[in-house]
Structure 1
Amino acid sequence: MRASESNNEELNSNNEEEPIELIPSMEEFESELYSGFKKIYLGDIIEGTIITVSDTELLVNIGYISDGIIPVSETMATEEVDITELYHEGDPITAEIIKTDDGEGNILLSIKKAEEILVWDELEKAFNDSKKINVKVTGVVKGGVVCDLKGARAFIPASLLSTRYVEDLNQFIGQDLTVKVVDFDKDSKKVVLSRKEVEREENEIQKSLILSTMKKGDKYMGTVVNITNFGAFVDIGGAQGLIHVQDLSWKKVKHPSEVVKEGEKVEVYIIDFDTKTGKIALGLKDVKEDPWENSINEYSVGKVLTGEIERLATYGAFVKIGDGIEGLVHISEMSDKRVNKPHDIVTVGDKVQVKILNIDKASKRIQLSMKAALDGELDQEEIDKYQPSGEATTSLEDVFKVFLKDINN
């Protein structure tokens, strides 16, 4: 190579420009930095993870260049429940952005506001799906109680608080209840709840279990939940049974309220039940106190005593002759004269003299006579006339003997 050519190449090499490193502007740098993070806007509902928990706030990683801060006032903490009890490092949270910059470059968040928004979606879904939810009773108002569900206010009418009688609504304050949403209007923020619906479902399950193991004569502790003219309904732990008025006491009871009251705890026994219909017949009176077992021996055929007319029927009058013991005076035994209707000669409450004609312990029936009581005590022959015999032995001669005796007398 000639010397002139070599010098020219070296000169050209020296004249080539070296690459220059371009330094981005602050605006370009910021744009590049932020492009790797999701965009956030005021009012967004976002998810994050708690980094630290203090007495005054939560520091949250929200996947942004800046961390999120949640003041204690924007959490679900209360005077009763401290923030450090509710939240822990690593817990996931859902919050609403209430400030994109708190003045120190942090994102200000609110769990409380997010819950207030999300809870209405939860309530609507629970209403549409007939789903159970949990709420806390916070106070008593006219006609029921109010509840709080993540900031949403709901109402439970007193009639929907329980299947049982509720005397004092204040007993529910502070309680956590499992309920169903029975009425819902998102626009007007109206929510009506029912604990009663949940109890009914629970009771049906419990009722099936009780009926599957129940036996006649079994005893249960129960609560009187309703009183009617014909008896009292008692809850025996999920299943309700009826104590008919006649099974409340061995004594005459005009109305069940004379014996029991709503809310009262009582011990009952099973008289009968039907697994298909779920009906349960209960008794309150103790079988050990049955006057037919304890007092009937005080009464004997032929005895004359004073009784009280308890009720009238077309065929006669029922007379109480002792606690839990009554007998029937047939219309033919009410007077020597013809009686068309029992109330023509007696009324309920009248005191009358009666004579015992027959006692049937097996069927617990007593035959009485008002007209025979006028003749005093029966002699043995008259007693035998009213006693049932094991077989029919009455002859035509016996019939005429009684007939002739009546004529002679």
Structure 2
Amino acid sequence: MTEYSWPDWGSDRDHGARIAAAWPDTLRKLPLGTPVTGKVIGRQRFGVFVAIDNHPDAVGLAEITAMPRCTELPHVGDRVTGHVLWHADHNHQVKIQLTEWAEHADLLLPYPDKIGQAVTGHVTKLAPIGAFVRIADCIEGLVRPERLSNVTVMERQELTVTTLGVDLERPRISLSATERR
């Protein structure tokens, strides 16, 4: 078995149609904030798919956008708990924030007070959307390409950045590369 997999629906070829048909009932039974439990049935780089207990025609998705930096994705077969965070009407998915992740959500609480401050970190990953920079244990922010100030960066490089903004709901930190003098 590979580290990542899509949900295995077995011989059930009508699962998509069943989930779509049950969507109005899913919305009614699982409003925002509803506590949920379930089993991880698929694991991708962007999050995990969850078979929600007592709702056989509902599929949950816990995306990494709601995952704290120092946690790991649950594996297929793991039991998880959380609450309904959002409904994605276009693909009939119940967005979930896992309790395990919510316990770590307070890691960013001190950072709104640090907007405008410069800090030195290390580049952990380069992606088309920018450079991810670890500015503290378990805390990474994103420097978008237009905020790199024509600075060439490489992974593991030390980089001085300025905190531009903090979104506690997502949770995300926006950074800008500080020019070297």
- Superposed pair shares fold, TM > 0.5: yes
Q: Which has the higher helix share?
A: 1
TM superposition shift of 1:251: 0.9
Unaligned runs of 5+ in 2: 1-7
**1:281 aligned onto 2:87:** no
| Residue 319 of structure 1: aligned partner | 133
Aligned 8 A contact 1:333 1:370 in 2? no
TM superposition shift of 1:332: 1.5
Write the deviation string for residues 138-194 of structure 1: whole angstroms up to 9, x where unpaired.
xxxxxxxxxxxxxxxxxxxxxxxx958xxxxxxxxxxxxxxxxxxxxxxxxxxxxx7
| Residue 148 of structure 2: aligned partner | 331
Aligned 8 A contact 1:355 1:368 in 2? yes
Residues 204 and 355 (structure 1), Cα distance of their counterparts in 2 relative to 1, 3 Å cut? closer
Q: Distance in 2 between matches of 1:287 and 1:214?
A: 22
Q: Paired residue for 2:36, among 205, 220, 229?
A: 220
| Residue 361 of structure 1: aligned partner | 166
Residues 325 and 309 (structure 1), Cα distance of their counterparts in 2 relative to 1, 3 Å cut? closer
Counterpart amino acid of residue 44 in structure 2: T
Aligned 8 A contact 2:119 2:135 in 1? no
TM superposition shift of 1:212: 1.4
| Higher RCO (CA < 8 A, seq sep 6+) | 2
Q: Distance in 2 between matches of 1:231 and 1:287?
A: 17
Q: Distance in 1 between matches of 2:21 and 2:89?
A: 13
Q: Distance in 2 between matches of 1:273 and 1:233?
A: 14
| Pair member with larger Rg | 1
Write the deviation string for residues 5-39 of structure 1: whole angstroms up to 9, x where unpaired.
xxxxxxxxxxxxxxxxxxxxxxxxxxxxxxxxxxx
TM superposition shift of 1:203: 7.1
| Residue 87 of structure 1: aligned partner | none
Aligned 8 A contact 1:321 1:327 in 2? no
Residues 273 and 297 (structure 1), Cα distance of their counterparts in 2 relative to 1, 3 Å cut? closer
Name the TM-score, length of structure 2 as normaliser.
0.66
Aligned 8 A contact 1:333 1:369 in 2? no
Residues 250 and 210 (structure 1), Cα distance of their counterparts in 2 relative to 1, 3 Å cut? same
TM superposition shift of 1:240: 1.1
| Residue 386 of structure 1: aligned partner | none
Q: Distance in 1 between matches of 2:104 and 2:74?
A: 20
Superposition CA RMSD, Å: 3.8
Counterpart amino acid of residue 351 in structure 1: Q
Identical counterparts, % of pairs: 16
Aligned 8 A contact 2:19 2:92 in 1? no
Aligned 8 A contact 1:309 1:317 in 2? yes
Q: Which has the higher strand share?
A: 2
Q: Distance in 1 between matches of 2:124 and 2:34?
A: 35
Write the deviation string for residues 202-226 of structure 1: whole angstroms up to 9, x where unpaired.
8778765332132223220111112
Aligned 8 A contact 1:291 1:325 in 2? no
TM superposition shift of 1:267: 0.8
**1:232 aligned onto 2:56:** no
Write the deviation string for residues 211-247 of structure 1: whole angstroms up to 9, x where unpaired.
2132223220111112234331101131112222333
| Residue 72 of structure 1: aligned partner | none
TM superposition shift of 1:324: 3.8
Name the TM-score, length of structure 1 as normaliser.
0.33
| Residue 149 of structure 1: aligned partner | none
What SS does structure 2 have at the residue aligned with 1:291? helix
TM superposition shift of 1:326: 0.6
What SS does structure 2 have at the residue aligned with 1:332? coil
Q: Distance in 2 between matches of 1:320 and 1:251?
A: 10
| Residue 251 of structure 1: aligned partner | 69
Write the deviation string for residues 326-346 of structure 1: whole angstroms up to 9, x where unpaired.
141623152xxxxxxxxxx32
What SS does structure 2 have at the residue aligned with 1:347? coil
